[in-house]
Amino acid sequence: MPAQDALDFGAERPELSVVIPVFNEADNIDGLVARVIPILENCVRSFEIVFVDDGSSDGTMEALRRVNVADRRLHAVSFSRNFGKEIAIAAGLDHARGEAVIIMDADLQHPPEVIPTFVDYWRQGYKNVFGQRTDREQDSPLRRLLSQRFYYLFGQFGETPLPPGAGDFRLLDRQAVEALCSMGERARFSKGLYAWIGFKSIGVPFEVAERAHGTSKFSYRKLTRFALDGLMSFSTVPLKVWTYVGTMISAFAILMAVYFLLKTAIYGVDLPGFASLIVSVMFFGGIQLLSLGVLGEYIGRIFAEVKRRPLYLVAERIGDHGAETADPPMPSRHRQRV
Binders of ligand UDP in range 175-214 (CB under 6 A): 211
The residue among 90 and 181 lying less far from ligand UDP, judged by its C-beta, is 90
> What residue is closest to ligand UDP based on CB?
216
Residue from 73, 85, 133, 188 touching ligand UDP (CB under 6 A): that is 85
Q: How far does the chain reach from its first CA to its final CA, in angstroms?
A: 15
Of ligand UDP, Mg ion, none, which one sits near residue 23, judging by CB under 5 to 8 A according to partner kind? Answer: ligand UDP
Check residue 112 for interaction with ligand UDP (CB under 6 A).
no
316/80 Cα distance (integer angstroms): 8
What minimum distance in Å lies between the beta carbon of 214 and ligand UDP?
8
Handedness of CA 65, 67, 72, 74 (dihedral sign): negative
Check residue 229 for interaction with ligand UDP (CB under 6 A).
no
What minimum distance in Å lies between the beta carbon of 136 and Mg ion?
12
**DSSP characters for 188-226?**
--HHHHHHHH--SEEEEEEPPPPPSSS--S--HHHHHHH
Check residue 117 for interaction with ligand UDP (CB under 6 A).
no
Three-state SS at 93:
helix
What minimum distance in Å lies between the beta carbon of 82 and Mg ion?
16
Handedness of CA 190, 37, 120, 108 (dihedral sign): negative
The residue among 132 and 216 lying less far from ligand UDP, judged by its C-beta, is 216
305/299 Cα distance (integer angstroms): 10
Check residue 49 for interaction with ligand UDP (CB under 6 A).
no
Residue from 106, 166, 172, 204 touching ligand UDP (CB under 6 A): that is 106
User: C-alpha angle 97/99/174, rounded to 5°?
Assistant: 90
Residue type, position 17, single letter: S
Of ligand UDP, Mg ion, none, which one sits near residue 54, judging by CB under 5 to 8 A according to partner kind? Answer: ligand UDP
Binding site for Mg ion (CB under 5 A): 105, 107, 109
239/60 Cα distance (integer angstroms): 42
Check residue 82 for interaction with ligand UDP (CB under 6 A).
yes
The residue among 109 and 201 lying less far from ligand UDP, judged by its C-beta, is 109
If one counts every other C-beta atom within 10 angstroms of the C-beta of residue 246, the result is 13
**Within 13 Å, how many C-alpha atoms sit on residue 300's CB side?**
11
The residue among 208 and 314 lying less far from Mg ion, judged by its C-beta, is 208
Q: How far is CA 242 from CA 50, 245, 321, in A?
A: 45, 5, 49
What DSSP element (H or E) covers 47? Answer: strand 47-53
Check residue 21 for interaction with ligand UDP (CB under 6 A).
yes
| Residue 235 near residue 159 (C-beta atoms within 8 A) | yes
| Residue 31 near residue 212 (C-beta atoms within 8 A) | yes
| Residues whose CB falls within 8 Å of the CB of residue 276, separated by 6 or more in sequence, listed in order | none
The residue among 88 and 202 lying less far from ligand UDP, judged by its C-beta, is 88
The residue among 18 and 127 lying less far from ligand UDP, judged by its C-beta, is 18
Check residue 133 for interaction with ligand UDP (CB under 6 A).
no
Handedness of CA 29, 96, 18, 304 (dihedral sign): positive
Check residue 64 for interaction with ligand UDP (CB under 6 A).
no
Residue count of the chain, please give it: 338
Of Mg ion, ligand UDP, none, which one sits near residue 298, judging by CB under 5 to 8 A according to partner kind? Answer: none
Of ligand UDP, Mg ion, none, which one sits near residue 88, judging by CB under 5 to 8 A according to partner kind? Answer: ligand UDP
The residue among 105 and 173 lying less far from Mg ion, judged by its C-beta, is 105
Of Mg ion, ligand UDP, none, which one sits near residue 56, judging by CB under 5 to 8 A according to partner kind? Answer: none
Of Mg ion, ligand UDP, none, which one sits near residue 103, judging by CB under 5 to 8 A according to partner kind? Answer: none
Q: Which residues bind ligand UDP (CB under 6 A)?
A: 21-23, 25, 54, 82, 84-85, 88, 105-107, 109, 211, 216-218
